[in-house]
Amino acid sequence: MRPVYLHGSAVSTTWRDASRSLTDLIFDCVSAALREAGLRAADLGAIVLAAHDLVDGRGLTSMVTAPAAAAYLRDETRLGDDGALAFVLGDARVRSGSVDTCLVAAWGRASEGPVDEISHALFDPFTARPLALTEIAVSGLRAARCLGDYPGYDRCRGAAAARRGARPADPARTPAAAWPLRAAELPVWADVVAATVLSSSPGPVRVAGVGMSTEPYDLGDRDLTGLPALRAASAQALAAGGAHAAGVDILELDGLTLFDEALAAEAVGAVARGEGMALLASGDRVNPGGGYAAGYCAPAMGLVRIAGAAARLCEAATARTTALATGSSVVAAQVQAAVLLEGA
Amino acid sequence: MEESAGENAPPLIIEPRATEPRATEPRATEPLTIDGHWAFDYTYFAGAAASRFFAELAARRIMGSRCPQCERVLVPARGFCDACFVETTDWVQVSPHGTLETFTILTTSFPGLPEPPLVVGYVALEGASTAVLNFVDGIDLTDPDAAGAVLLRRPRVTARFTGACEGRITDFVFTLDDPA
């Protein structure tokens, strides 16, 4: 197995920019990642894409969008899953020696479609859709359980949300609430594209470990606050890199809402169960760029978190500094991926 | 163009395109948008286990299926245990009584569904190893915080079949055993 390095990354977060099509947004972001990596499209050995037909409103969306991600006449794989899982697959392509360089890109354009209706359509037509379930509703279910189990969540939620800064006034960018979630705890919908470039050549950030795991589909069969798939995925990534969660310097954790981020902090082992909200309220170790409130659209967010972790590592400019980034898939974070990065 | 969501949001890496078009490009073109709509009809096949589960609901019984390996009773009944990856065997009727494990108050409106606000929650029924989702009826939602405070105490609930049961998950709702 060869070492894998992250050479370039880019994130584009916009809203309803009528001057650019979805393919324009992808082309621009992928171009920026390639520029940062000092590579051209012709240098890429493989491309892995994460996109979702329902979000894009296009059947087999990557047929339309893949050429904008430099896939023309190249080895390309398409996932209908989160960008962090695409990153894990890209890492495997390079680590195994099948290619020397791999571009990973993911996107979602919330401004083009009805996010709540799309989210509702993702759920089981027999047992969940008739009960009006959406992704936000699942976050509401998790949040209520947290408030019942952990007194610290209610005590710290205001301070934690306040750290995420001002929100856009446009009501189209905030989903309908699901009690107990408050407006400041809900995602800010955005048009998001992320791209990263992986290579076997030494670069500024090394991929030290990756992990993936899947929970049952049925939410009634899940530990809604324990996030066992994220626990398993992060444990795999940390073990592969010989690291422990307590020693990881930087955390970039995907979560649809404030409560989901707090639970993710617990699941990766950064704090004990029940302490996640206090961690978010107390400092900038997790998602200082704003996380869920800085612009959200599945399935791009895991790759956004990885790009954010890489950027923070480069800012730190200290060898051996570590960062853990995670990504969670629809539906209801059933599939989780974790990536451990290290300043090279 | 709005470029970032919050004041802590990372700066855009992608620069907006130059406003002046090149000489070969048309000038001052209004950005084009078109409306789109997806409306397809699907026929979903429930399969044997779920078909029986819903038929039992029409007969006002909530049934689970037992995993022969871990012995969990899975509700709604299903054909296999995904934890053990074996087929389920026995069918077990579970109690209509249980505990509200968690819930949320929905405010999103969907065509064909009851108008919000709605309470939906997961209930652990006696005799079941998993929780089952359904509406929780009869809650005064005039003050959502007050209603939520009551429901956070994990009250006892009972599944009540309403109207003409037709073999759907909506054949029953949960109601609080002690509405006060």
The 10s digit of each residue's pLDDT in A114-126 is 999 999 999 999 9
Least confident window among A13-17, A70-74, A265-269, B152-156: A70-74
Measured between CA atoms, how close is B43 to chain A, in angstroms? 10
Q: How many angstroms separate the CA of residue B63 from the nearest CA in chain A?
A: 14
Nearest-CA residue of chain A relative to B110? A132
pLDDT over 50 (residue B11): no
Dihedral of CA atoms A21, A25, A28, A33 in degrees, nearest 10, equals -160
Runs of H (alpha helix) within chain A: 22-37, 53-56, 61-65, 83-95, 115-121, 135-149, 151-162, 228-240, 258-267, 276-282, 301-316
Q: Residue B6 and residue A10: Cβ atoms within 8 Å?
A: no
Q: How do A46-50 and A76-79 pair as beta strands?
A: parallel
Q: Which residues neighbour A296 within 8 Å (Cβ) at sequence distance 6 or greater?
A: A110, A187, A188, A189, A190, A192, A256
User: Residues 61 to 80 of B: which have CB under 8 A from any A CB?
Assistant: 74-76, 78
Cα Rg for chain B, rounded, in angstroms? Answer: 25
Residue of chain A whose Cα is closest to the Cα of B5? A294
Q: What is the pLDDT of residues A24-43, one digit of tens each?
A: 999 999 999 999 999 999 99
Report how far residue A122's alpha carbon sits from residue A135's, in angstroms, rounded to the nearest whole number: 9
B2 and chain A in contact, CB less than 8 A:
yes
Q: Where are the domains of chain A?
A: 205-343
Q: How far apart are CA A26 and CA A193, in angstroms?
A: 6
Backbone angles phi and psi of A64, in degrees to 5? -80, -40
First to last CA, chain A: 18
* Angstrom distance (rounded) from CA A158 to CA A156: 6
Residues A178, B153: C-beta atoms closer than 8 Å? no
Residue B2 has pLDDT above 90, yes or no: no
Task: Calculate mean pLDDT across residues B109-120.
Answer: 95
Q: Which residues of A touch B74 (CB under 8 A)?
A: 221
CA distances from A38 to A42, A43, A74 (A): 12, 10, 19
Choose among B1, B144, B169: nearest Cβ to A17.
B1
Fold of A205-343: Peroxisomal Thiolase; Chain A, domain 1 (3.40.47)
What number is the ipTM of this complex?
Answer: 0.91
Contacts of A285 (CB under 8 A, 6+ apart): A250, A251, A270, A279
Show Cβ contacts of residue A204 under 8 Å, excluding neighbours closer than 6 positions.
A5, A6, A7, A310, A313, A314, A343, A344
pTM: 0.93
Q: Which residues contact A315 (CB under 8 A, 6 or more apart)?
A: none
B38 pLDDT band, cuts 50/70/90, is confident
Distance between CA atoms of residues A103 and A74, nearest Å: 11
